[in-house]
Structure 1
Amino acid sequence: MQQNKSFLGAVIYIDLRGYTKIVEEKVLENIAQLIYNYQEVITQKINNLYTDEDIAIIEYMGDGVMIIIKQQELEVTNTDMFAHNIYQNATTIKNSVLKILKLEKEKYTDLDSIDFGMAVSLSKIYQKNITTNRNQQRKMFFGVSLNRATKIGNAMDAKKNHIGIDKKMYDDYLVNTLHKYNMVKGTKPIVHMYSENITKPSGERKASLK
């Protein structure tokens, strides 16, 4: 039995940098603990920031984490503020990840090259609920924001430890609110242009807030 539905949702994607190289070059005894600590910090922050009803899924993909947050019906008329909340909370998560990685680097010198890439995107997301033969429920999600967040996050090598904003999300929902509510605090958000045909975004620019 399949149940399908769709919703407007935001994707927060985080992926470690330098992890694969360390694992390939040297079997690091504490690398698993680093991953557990890093994922636990993200999970705790998400659970503190959002309710179970808001969180569509927290998916762990090796050293990457993808979070999908649903826009609730009461927020539908104010998508700008929903997008702004996503960016603001992503910044909170980013700062927490910075702290945990700093602690891990201080404990283990072999982890000096560990950093992360991060991205946010927003679009209509399709959810398929599948009941397996063993009567277990599985959720599958589809949407352009999943692809965009993943590709932009993976392309954040030049801007490690920062958040890349999908340009469409920025142009459609954030360009006015970030300026109006002054949440950027003197810094300019990193806005990525997205291209379907290449691994990295076609360009990167800093948003100009006037």
Structure 2
Amino acid sequence: MKKYKVKSIGNNTIAISGKCDDLKWNSAEALTDFISAWDDEPIKRIEFKSLWNNTHLFFCFKVFDSEVHIDKTDDTVDSIGNSDRVELFFRTDAELNPYYCLEIDPTPRIMDFIAYPNKKFNFDWNWPQKDILVKSHKEKDYFIVEGQITLASLKEFNLIKNNKIETGIFRAKFNQQEDLSFEPTWISWVNPNTETPNFHTPTSFGELHLID
């Protein structure tokens, strides 16, 4: 299982601005080994960083892309699901029973839901608002999604075990086709080794290790 070391910032915190411009981010390792397992086209650079303190897990995506697609129809699951976005999945066990999904577009709208094996999704479930904060920023050549999640909520959902969080880290990139429709390229940190695109499978997860 692939591993990423989440460094501690002790009793310090990070000011979530949407720009990942807090200097403490300089101490975080940049995870960049993303792949598109079902597409031969090269992908543009994606940087993921994470840090933690005694109360929160912090995360930052920097996605290099000058042609970002956002479906602005409304704020429904369908609209977010048709937009470029980054995704974090957290699982309680290898059976995915259950796992928790956060899919965030560059605006940033959040599609959060609890899921069960065989792609059984409950979109009526939401991550408690008091336990999550997400902001974003968009420039010509990239966008950033930055956020924090309380450790209390991760523990409540049984997602931290021995200072490890089994996590899927993903990106959906929508490309315009000749008929002007948009089709996604699915990008992940871990190669799920599935025949067709599928993040909702045990093989798509790695581990975040919370270290001192």
Asked if these proteins are the same fold (TM beyond 0.5), I'd say: no
Whichever structure has more helix as a proportion of its residues is 1
| TM-score between both structures, scaled by the size of structure 2 | 0.28
